Amino acid sequence: MPPQGPFARGPGSPGVAGVLHYRGVMIDVRRLRDDLDGVRTALARRHIDLGDVDRAAALAERQRLLTGQGDGLRSRVNALSKEVAEARRAKDGDRAEALSAQSKQLGQELAAVEAEASDVETELRDLLLRIPNLPAPDAPGGASDTDNVVVRVEGFDPDRYGEHQRVPHWEIGAELRILDLERGAKISGSMFPLFRGLGATLARALCQLALDRNADAFEEIRPPTLVRSATLEATGQLPKFADDAYQIERDDLWAIPTAEVPLTSMRRNEVLDEAELPLRLMAYSPCYRREAGSAGRDTRGLLRVHEFDKVEILALSTPDQAQALHAEILDRAESTIAALGLPYRIVDICTGDLGQSHARCFDIEVYAPGCDMWLEVSSVSWFSDYQARRANIRFRPAAGGPTVTCHTLNGSALAVPRVWAAIVETHRQPDGSVALPEVLWPYLRGAVSIAPPS
């Protein structure tokens, strides 16, 4: 596959490797103790309140002091236990009794210290779960999505579109009887789309295309779509984004918002050999999102839905492998969008718009002429060791030494709804039919277009 990364085209371009520098950025309690100023400076680029960071640092210091105090008390209790035994062997009952009383007193002090240490540890862990990842030094600065950087645009000419392409997909879908939003809402409520006929076939074909284009390097997984709380916690969805997830409270299970969630936790609490890395996985899955923050945003048609199909590609890596993998995953997602004949652009996400777990992220957006909007269809993200630290995924270096926390990366190989929308708008013909991209023909049972019903 030829290089197609965000900086790979154009004369004099330095390439991705010349722009991204993957240094060790992480939320690690040791960083709070040893480099609080550095952590605060990095997180200030996210434009967040740093109060939790300062509180976590204070708790980490208190935890360190309590640990030392507890170790000292435990050592004294152990020493006294030996002295009591010696006094009893020497038949010195008075001394044995006095030493026992002293040991009991110290034991009570130790119990109090351990109880406080447990409370501090619980509070610290809760804070650390809520503090976002440190952004990569090379992530562009900014306070919101308006500060995101458009790296380049491919195939877009605003003057190329005819009036027949300036029709929104929800009207095209109804006219061709391939998208039935009304009946979807009747079954499940608003924002649950129902695809029909070749519309459903097109949705399935998009997923199969994405799987096939990545099968050369990524192992296909069909994960469960209902997961435990710890699984969502590992990737950063919990506790912060609980309101945006669907929960089955009776069984303490959650519907996944993306296959990234179960794929990451496949190796939770495991130690890999360095030779196993990078570990490349991909999965098709339905995805479920409440879209709790969608009030006031455009939710018409397929622009924002509660349930959708997506193919995710994910990698576990060493820190040194992360840079090349980030570029590769972006290349793969981009090349699939290009193969569908859709104009698109690559957007470098600024620090103020990065997700909770992200250190660096590039979005791919396609242009939908009927909506006259750029639609995000893929996010390709590097999480440094933030997720793997939460999931306790480590590897043994081939050269020996202590285990190292893995890095995680992922990307949407293809998410159906907005790509589906962009296809039917972009490839609509003057007679009202939709010409289907040739790359999808093998998956469409002989169909090459969707014609209006007679």
**Whether residue 212 sits in one domain with residue 78:** no
Kindly state the average pLDDT of the residues 162-168: 98
Q: What is the mean pLDDT of the chain?
A: 92
In a domain, 36, yes or no: no
The C-alpha atoms of residue 302 and residue 316 are separated, in whole angstroms, by 32
Place of tokens 């197609």: 4
pLDDT over 50 at 83, yes or no: yes
List of E strands, 266-343: 271-273, 279-288, 307-317
Q: List Cβ neighbours of 157 (8 Å cut-off, separation of 6 or more).
A: 343
Domain shared by 66 and 177, yes or no: no
CB atoms within 10 A of CB 331: 20
Considering the entire predicted model, what is its pTM?
0.90
Helices marked H in 343-400 — which ranges? 386-391
Nearest Cα neighbor of 435 from 176, 219, 215 is: 176
Q: In this structure, are 94 and 211 located in the same domain?
A: no
User: Could you tell me if 398 and 425 lie in one domain?
Assistant: yes
Asked if residue 320 is part of any domain, the answer here is yes
- Give CA–CA dist 406/319, Å, rounded: 7
Residues 283, 356 within the same domain? yes
Q: Residue 74 sits in which domain range?
A: 49-130
Residue 450 and residue 200 in contact, taking contact as beta carbons nearer than 8 Å: no
CB 418 within 8 A of CB 305: no
- For residue 16, being part of any structural domain is answered with no
200 pLDDT higher than 90: yes
Query: What pLDDT does residue 24 have?
Result: 33
Q: Domain check: are 414 and 346 in the same one?
A: yes
Domain count, the chain: 2
* Cβ atoms within 10 Å, residue 173: 25
Q: Say yes or no: 380 and 415 in one domain.
A: yes
| DSSP SS3 for 219 | strand
Q: Which residues pair with 317 in a beta bridge?
A: 407
pLDDT at 26 over 80: no
Residue 17 domain-assigned?
A: no
**Do both 115 and 250 map to the same domain?**
no
Question: Mean pLDDT across the stretch 5-26?
Answer: 35
Alpha-helical regions (H) of 256-308: 260-265
- What confidence score (pLDDT) does residue 295 get? 66
Q: What is the pLDDT of residue 296?
A: 65
Sign of the CA dihedral 111, 115, 120, 125?
positive
Q: How confident is the model at residue 299 (pLDDT cuts 50, 70, 90)?
A: confident
At 268-287, the pLDDT tens digits run 999 999 999 999 999 999 99
Q: What pLDDT score does 118 carry?
A: 96
**Shared domain check, 187 and 117:** no
Structural domain ending residue among the three candidates 130, 154, 173? 130
Percent of the chain residues past pLDDT 90, beyond the cut: 90
- Whether residue 22 has pLDDT greater than 90: no
pLDDT at 454: 86
Give the residue from 102, 130, 158 where a domain finishes.
130
Confidence label for 153 from pLDDT (cuts 50, 70 and 90): very high
Q: Report residue 393's pLDDT band, with 50, 70 and 90 as the boundaries.
A: very high
- What DSSP element (H or E) covers 15? none
Residue 33 lies in a domain: no
**What CATH number is given to the structural domain containing 83?**
1.10.287.40
Range in 14-28, 266-280, 305-319, 320-334 with the lowest mean pLDDT: 14-28
Q: Over 90: is that where the pLDDT of 203 sits?
A: yes
- Which of 82, 106, 130 is the last residue before a domain boundary? 130
> Which tens digit of pLDDT belongs to each residue from 172-184?
999 999 999 999 9
Q: Are residues 61 and 121 in the same domain?
A: yes
Same domain, 104 and 153: no
**Is 178 inside a domain boundary?**
yes
Q: What confidence category does residue 6 fall into, taking pLDDT thresholds of 50, 70 and 90? A: very low
The CATH number covering residue 283 comes to: 3.30.930.10
Residue 21 has pLDDT above 70, yes or no: no
348-367 pLDDT tens trace = 999 999 999 999 999 999 99
Query: pLDDT above 70 covers what percent of the chain?
Result: 93
pLDDT band (50, 70, 90) for residue 292: confident
pLDDT interval class at 4 (50, 70, 90): very low
Instruction: Read off the pLDDT of each residue in 60-72 and give the average, rounded to a whole number.
Output: 96
Residues 242 and 99 in one domain: no
Residue 69 is encoded by which pair of tokens?
A: 């105090």
7 — pLDDT class (breaks 50, 70, 90): very low
Contacts of residue 147, Cβ cutoff 8 Å, sequence gap at least 6: 140, 141, 350, 352, 353
Question: CA separation (Å) from 11 to 3, 7, 19, 400?
Answer: 14, 10, 15, 43
Between 280 and 21, where is the model more confident? 280
Q: Say yes or no to pLDDT of 19 above 70.
A: no
Q: pLDDT tens for residues 398-426? A: 999 999 999 999 999 999 999 999 999 99
Asked if residues 427 and 434 have their Cβ atoms less than 8 Å apart, the reply is yes
Is residue 70 within 8 A of residue 118, CB to CB? The reply is no
Q: How confident is the model at residue 315 (pLDDT cuts 50, 70, 90)?
A: very high
Q: What's the rounded mean pLDDT across residues 21-32?
A: 59
Q: What is the pLDDT of residue 364?
A: 98
Residue 38 lies in a domain: no
Spatial neighbors of 127 by CB under 8 A, at least 6 apart, are: 52, 55, 56, 59
pLDDT at 3: 33
Half-sphere exposure of 328 (CA within 13 A, CB side): 18
Comparing CA positions, the residue from 414, 335, 420, 412 lying closest to residue 370 is: 420
Q: What is the pLDDT of residue 18?
A: 30
Q: pLDDT-based confidence at 27, cuts 50/70/90?
A: low
- Asked, for residue 285, whether it belongs to a domain, the answer is yes
- Residue 58 DSSP SS3: helix
Beta-strand pair 271-273/394-396: parallel
Helix (H, G, I), strand (E, B) or coil at 161: coil
Farthest CA pair distance, the chain: 107
